[in-house]
Structure 1
Amino acid sequence: MGDLSLDHVGFMVWDLDAGVTQWERLGFRLSRRSPQMGNVPGKEGMAPWATSNSCAMFREGYLELIGVTNRDNFNPWARFLDRFEGPHITALRCQDADAAYAALSKRIDNFDPPLQRLRNAPFGDGERPFKFRNIFSQDEHYPEGRFIVIEHQTPEVIWQEELMNQPNGAIRLCEVVFAAEPTDNTIERLQRISGGIAEDGNIGLIKLGGGGVLSVVSPDEFLDFYPGAGEPLRPMVAAVVVGVKHLKETADLLSTNGVSVWESSRPSVWVRPTEANGAVIEFIEVGLSL
């Protein structure tokens, strides 16, 4: 089994302010807006993009919200947004990008070599350089969305203590749930990307060696577990599972904020895609242990 862990899921919306408001209703505290930058066709070096992000940071992992804030700039995410608003990025964390790329290349093709990234991230009342290295999937080969294997070089810049104090009690990104048809071969791709293997007796569930779960369900299974969520596109990230300290307190906060809450037998509570920026967000109790 590989040593990759679940790092983050990136949601994309056209209106970042509206998206932030939706997640704040769910009890997430988000980081201040941070403009994105990267490669731009026809330009050398790093240049500003059309998008910015805000993140809901947990003790383990986080949720990223990307939205358009400057339509005059190049938008590298346009093709994803044209498909739907919701989660398009699944990121797995590694300790060393070079070693991870060497191992990944033996399992699966169509990932680019590690790319050094740098941007200024909000830190307290100011900013600090946020450095990381990304191994990107090549989009045309991965219908589920963009996969990233990431090496965090300055994790302390984004995992700030005050940002991890979530009003809804969220402390861990536990699971990413993909909706797919068997013919999509999503589970096979996930096994090769992650280096993990499907659980005995549950061929749709992969436990990552470094922590976290990737799972794949059929459209019918998705609707059985999340009745009322609506039929998802596929293949896609259709749900994320977030661990909280106290499930009842989370459910009470959601209800107080006017959010429609659904219950499952896991036990858990979950919120429909229409109230969560494009995918089910499910909350389970994991207590205070990490």
Structure 2
Amino acid sequence: MTDNRTEEADRQLPIGEEIFLDHVGHFVRDPVAAGAALKRAGFAPTPVSVQSNPDGSPTGTGNITAMFRRGYMEVLFKTADTPLGLEFQAALTGHSGVHLAAFSAADAEGAHRRLREAGFAMRPLVQFQRPVDTVNGPDVAAFTVVRLDRGAMAEGRIQILAHRTENTVWQPRWLTHPNGAQGLIDLMVVSADPKEAADRFVRFTGHPAKPTKYGQAITLDRGQVQLVSRHAFEAMLPEIAIPQLPFLGAYAVRVQSLAAAETLLQREGMAMRRLGQALVVPFPSDIGLGAWLFVENGRDLPWRV
């Protein structure tokens, strides 16, 4: 793919060979406290859901989500000592926070084949689902997930998925948030070697990287991955402690009105500060280490300026 795109795709799911930044996942210990923290930050989280395999057996994790008009944010917690649950527990031992970045594709089988040909060690495709309530009664949210072998991406659980049930995942009643959240924009990855990390993410996404004043940027068909050094991250976000490298340290959320979001967060006593046309909001401790950057437009993000 070329890197001369100026407009992002404005739809929930990709078509053809497109790849989107679909969602990010916080690993937490206490889903109740995490849900309360999201509400305090002005999100409207969905009810708790326990994930299962098609045969009904537990995957080992459950979640709550904040669904946006474009993409979403997820909070995951352990539910069983399955292989996936034990992997989750091992990641959480380091720190709570963002340990998952999921990218969406239209063709999971094709994505799996492309990654294998790009030299990644792969696990078999897997079908996941979780129960959801809809206005018409109980239903399921279903996904085909493309997973790398553990350790293939040092940054955490980096995966591609194809959504099979768009309407049950993005229900209109969950898309309105008091803070005005509209969409997931960019993910920031802090690395000891941003160039090496960028090379892997280029192979993973199939999109090229370009140098920025902070590191490397990979522009997807929707969203971007920003790869920066410890020094660059600390210069931009000095209030965020880096627990270890690599670190999924921040992500950007588009809001309808920055002023309205700021007013709500001030009323809730949330820590925050302005950074140009962005609002930096450290995560509440119950969802881990890192920060949101709220902006009205992606072009207002400090790393895009």
The two structures have a TM-score, normalised by structure 1, of 0.89
- Out of 167, 181, 187, the residue aligned to residue 198 of structure 2 is 187
**Which shows bigger deviation, 14-23 or 193-202?**
193-202
Matched residue type, 1:67: F
Specify whether residues 67 and 125 from structure 1 end up closer, same or farther in structure 2 by C-alpha distance, changes over 3 A only: farther
Question: Would you say the 8 A contact 2:194–2:227 is kept in 1?
Answer: no
- Out of 40, 62, 65, the residue aligned to residue 55 of structure 1 is 65
The offset of 1:104, in angstroms, is 2.3
- Out of 7, 32, 35, the residue aligned to residue 20 of structure 1 is 35
**Which shows bigger deviation, 83-92 or 98-107?**
98-107
SS of corresponding position for 2:172: coil
Matched residue type, 1:177: M
Residue 246 (str. 1) matches residue 249 (str. 2)? no
Structure 2: runs of 5+ lacking an equivalent: 2-16, 299-305
Question: Would you say the 8 A contact 1:133–1:152 is kept in 2?
Answer: yes
Residue aligning to 2:226: 215
Give the distance between the partners of 1:102 and 1:73, measured in 2 at CA: 26
**Which shows bigger deviation, 199-208 or 164-173?**
199-208
Residue 169 (str. 1) matches residue 184 (str. 2)? no
Matched residue type, 1:55: T
The offset of 1:123, in angstroms, is 2.2
The offset of 1:18, in angstroms, is 0.6
Give the distance between the partners of 1:47 and 1:162, measured in 2 at CA: 29
Give the distance between the partners of 1:73 and 1:254, measured in 2 at CA: 38
The offset of 1:100, in angstroms, is 1.8
SS of corresponding position for 2:244: coil
Question: Would you say the 8 A contact 1:186–1:235 is kept in 2?
Answer: no
Give the distance between the partners of 1:175 and 1:237, measured in 2 at CA: 11
Give the distance between the partners of 1:47 and 1:260, measured in 2 at CA: 41
Superposition map of 1:1-290 within 5 A: 1=1, 3-38=18-53, 45-68=55-78, 70=79, 75-76=85-86, 77-124=88-135, 126-182=137-193, 185-199=196-210, 201=212, 204-208=216-220, 210-265=221-276, 267-275=277-285, 277-278=287-288, 279-286=290-297
Question: Would you say the 8 A contact 2:53–2:127 is kept in 1?
Answer: no
Structure 1: runs of 5+ lacking an equivalent: 40-44
Matched residue type, 1:129: V
Work out the percentage of aligned pairs sharing the same amino acid: 27
SS of corresponding position for 2:280: strand
The offset of 1:219, in angstroms, is 1.0
Residue aligning to 1:42: none
